[in-house]
């Protein structure tokens, strides 16, 4: 039996994943969490074989939670879920130590297959993301300006490109408006841009828009 921890700040997403896994005889959801702190607590409290984490959560993202989860259970496979299959996000996910990367738009069967594969100690990447990753083979690291962004800056750049304002981003990530404004300035500096409009255009051109 593969014991699953589901981590997502949206109760409806957690319920949907529970229904998906409930249909499988070899998978059992043993714990849930709504944010990174709860995720770490649940990993400590329950015997978990695979953790399924949302990338975008209030406060610390799924990637932020990875080091703490692995500090508790170094060999625990972590499958990251995101709204869209993006090459650059997938690269960051694997560099951070995740065992797999799946889009929430993928079919239920693919998410189940991903859980089963990472539970065996192997890596999983969906065909859509694999194709994008293949196009990046041979490209030098930091060849593009956005490669220099931190994971949080990358996340916020995508949210800006999605049309979210500073207050909305601050509320969603449980951070202060001043903190988001600081991240925005860093993003503009690193990308050599001057406005949110230019961030949006850059994100669309490079396929990093949410």
Question: How far separated are the first and last CA of the chain, in Å rounded?
Answer: 35
pLDDT at 139: 46
User: What average pLDDT does this structure show over 161-185?
Assistant: 90
In CATH, the architecture of 145-205 is: Orthogonal Bundle (1.10)
CB-CB contact of 2 with 115 (8 Å) = yes
DSSP category for residue 54: E
Q: 143 falls in which pLDDT band (50, 70, 90)?
A: low
For the record, the structure tokens of 189 come out as 């500096």
Delimit the domains of the chain by residue range: 2-134, 145-205
Alpha carbon distance 30, 58 (integer Å): 22
The owner of tokens 């015997």 is: 47
pTM score, two decimals? 0.68
User: What b/e readout covers 150-160, taking b as 16+ CB neighbours within 10 angstroms?
Assistant: ebbbbbbbbbb
Helix (H, G, I), strand (E, B) or coil at 79: strand
Kindly indicate whether the domain formed by 2-134 is annotated with CATH number 3.40.50.2300: yes
């Amino acid at each position: 039996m593969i014991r699953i921890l589901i981590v997502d700040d949206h109760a409806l997403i957690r319920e949907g994943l529970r229904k998906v896994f409930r249909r499988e005889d070899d998978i059992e959801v043993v714990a849930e969490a709504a944010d990174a702190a709860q995720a770490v607590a649940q990993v400590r409290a329950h015997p978990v074989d695979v953790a399924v984490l949302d990338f975008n959560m209030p406060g610390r993202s799924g990637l932020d939670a990875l080091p703490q989860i692995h500090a508790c259970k170094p060999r625990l496979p972590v499958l990251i879920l995101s709204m869209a299959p993006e090459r650059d996000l997938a690269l960051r996910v694997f560099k951070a130590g995740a065992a797999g990367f799946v889009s929430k738009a993928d079919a239920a069967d693919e998410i189940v297959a991903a859980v089963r594969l990472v539970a065996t100690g192997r890596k999983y990447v969906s065909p859509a993301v694999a194709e994008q990753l293949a196009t990046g083979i041979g490209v030098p690291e930091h060849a593009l300006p956005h490669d220099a962004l931190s994971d949080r800056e990358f996340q916020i750049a995508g949210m800006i490109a999605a049309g979210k304002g500073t207050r909305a981003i601050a509320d969603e990530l449980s951070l202060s408006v001043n903190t988001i404004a600081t991240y925005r300035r860093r993003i503009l500096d690193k990308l050599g841009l001057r406005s949110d409009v230019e961030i949006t255009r850059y994100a669309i051109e490079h396929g990093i828009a949410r």
